[in-house]
Amino acid sequence: MSYLPGLRASLVEAAGRAAAEQRAVAPTVPPSPGRRLAGWVDERLLHPTRRTAVVNLALIVASVAIGLTATGVFKRGETLGSVTPSQPNAREGSAIPGGSQLLSIRTPDPAGGLPWGLRVTRTTRGLTCVSAGRVDYGTIGVLGIDGAFADDDRFHPLSPNYFVNLGCDVTDATGHGFVNVGLRNVPASGLFGEHPESVGGCEPEPTAPPAARRLLEHLRRSHLARQSTLPRCPAGDMREIYFGLLGPRAQSVKYLTSGDTEKSTPVVKGSGAYLIVLPMHSGAGNPMATGDTGGPGIAAGEITQVTYRGGHVCKVPRASLMDSCQPVGFVAPRRTVPSARRLSSPISVRTVAAKSYCDQRTGDLIVACEGSPPPGFQHMQGENQPSVLAHVSFVSHVAIKNSASYYNAEFEFARSPSCKTGGAGGPTDYDIRAGQRIRFDMLIPDTCAGRVHGTIAYIPTSGAANSMPIIGLPGQGRSILVGRFSFRVP
């Protein structure tokens, strides 16, 4: 939403009142036929004294317009942090002191007001994170509008450790990040991603196809989903945002505007940073209408083309469901990959049958809990089906010091007419000491009674990859077997 038109209107109204007061003390001289022009000004306002007042009023309007893009337009509010406190050795890690930088990009909002900007942050786990938000006070943040912060009309800076997982990727050997994020249904407040419930916000209108929309609405009202008390977002306040880092070889990005015309914008030299803010697209025929995306490649959406130095051009197919335009210029860090013999470790399994389970608030562990949850745990939601809990553990013989490698577990359930699925545990998203015992927990439905087989593997990253990499996607190295396990579900 734009604050400038309303403010301009108030100033014009004040000027009108001043002119009316002048007309009340002296009759006006109507314009001659030759002066009947739009925007005619009473000649007596051109008297030196009155002319100064008019000029001063114009300067006020101009200075206010400039001030709306300068520091301190809004009163400063409390800083927005993440739901889970940052940990230097887990998840994305913590911002390195002095490792956050507000880039020079300023992209106007479709309705005016404070511009949007980008911040790049280096973390203790070797990641490069990029965040978008409205700009004021020399940083990015969220506006107290659209239900955010109880509509307090304040500017709330984003904590240096406020990360959106979609926007964090591994850093290459030359210190460059390669990450591209596409977000739909972002309110003009700039509030998106996981945040405390107390912050509030608004809920966008569903954009999925009618059948899927009915299902989502059913889930929203059922006990399987948390009841939302947020108001619906104003349709005119919804944005579609694309931002990221394309690397030092990128030169420009082409995208479709709200009128479906193609437009080109240069990227920041050296980092390949870009930021595109559009009114929310209807999503018709656009696979990105189903949700948000992030990773080293560019997902289908409004971006149509990336041009690199040397004449290389990558076109983004709008109908593609997979990321395209994979990173150009990524320099893989030199790493020593442990041998299979060194990684090999015996796997132990313990099964527990209970009526209810609790999961860890800030981790992946699950425990049986018949009564009150243990400290740091909460009752699992939607687990109404009788299940058996399997604790699978092993000792890591190598240290994992950042996000460049991880462990992953795969479960293959007993096949039957009532059980045709499997499961996965991980990936681990924390630093690990050599000699540390690692545990994966998996709930297996009673309908999958029989023998369960599984494997645990070590996976190094070999290219640009998201902070929570997925096996099989670009950037993942060859998995190395740690061990196999088998157990029976009664």
Q: What does the alpha-carbon distance between residue 165 and residue 84 come to, in Å, rounded to a whole number?
A: 12
pLDDT, position 221: 44
pLDDT of 217 over the 70 cut: no
pLDDT of 308 over the 60 cut: yes
pLDDT, position 253: 96
Q: What is the mean pLDDT of residues 8-20?
A: 39
Q: Which has more pLDDT, 250 or 67?
A: 250
pLDDT of 41 over the 70 cut: no
pLDDT, position 230: 83
- Give the model confidence (pLDDT) of 384-413 as tens digits: 678 899 999 999 999 999 999 999 999 999
Return mean pLDDT, the chain: 79
Least confident range from 9-18, 305-314, 453-462: namely 9-18
Environment class of 314 (CB within 10 Å of its CB; exposed 0-12, middle 13-18, buried 19+): middle
Interhelix angle 48-67/4-25, nearest 10 degrees: 170
Q: Which has more pLDDT, 302 or 68?
A: 302
pLDDT of 350 over the 50 cut: yes
Q: CB-based contacts of 246: which residues, under 8 Å, 6+ apart? A: 178, 180, 253, 267, 272, 273, 274, 306, 327, 328
Kindly report whether the global pTM for this prediction surpasses the value 0.75.
yes
Q: What is the mean pLDDT of residues 423-452?
A: 92
Query: Tokens representing 259?
Result: 């009128």
pLDDT of 383 over the 70 cut: no
Spans of all domains in the chain: 4-67, 75-315, 340-489
pLDDT, position 468: 72
pLDDT, position 435: 98
Q: What does the alpha-carbon distance between residue 333 and residue 336 come to, in Å, rounded to a whole number?
A: 10
| Residues pairing with 158 in the sheet | 80
pLDDT, position 286: 55
Measured from the Cβ of residue 5, the count of other Cβ atoms closer than 10 Å reads 12
Q: CB-based contacts of 105: which residues, under 8 Å, 6+ apart? A: 117, 118, 268, 273, 274, 275
Least confident range from 92-96, 135-139, 166-170: namely 166-170
Q: Which has more pLDDT, 110 or 419?
A: 110
pLDDT of 20 over the 70 cut: no
Least confident range from 165-179, 302-316, 412-426: namely 412-426
Q: Which CATH number fits domain 340-489: 2.60.40, 2.40.50, 3.30.200, 1.10.3470?
A: 2.60.40
Q: Quickly state the pLDDT bin for 201 (edges 50, 70, 90).
A: very high
pLDDT of 354 over the 70 cut: yes
pLDDT of 113 over the 90 cut: yes
pLDDT, position 417: 84
- Give the model confidence (pLDDT) of 220-234 as tens digits: 444 334 445 788 888
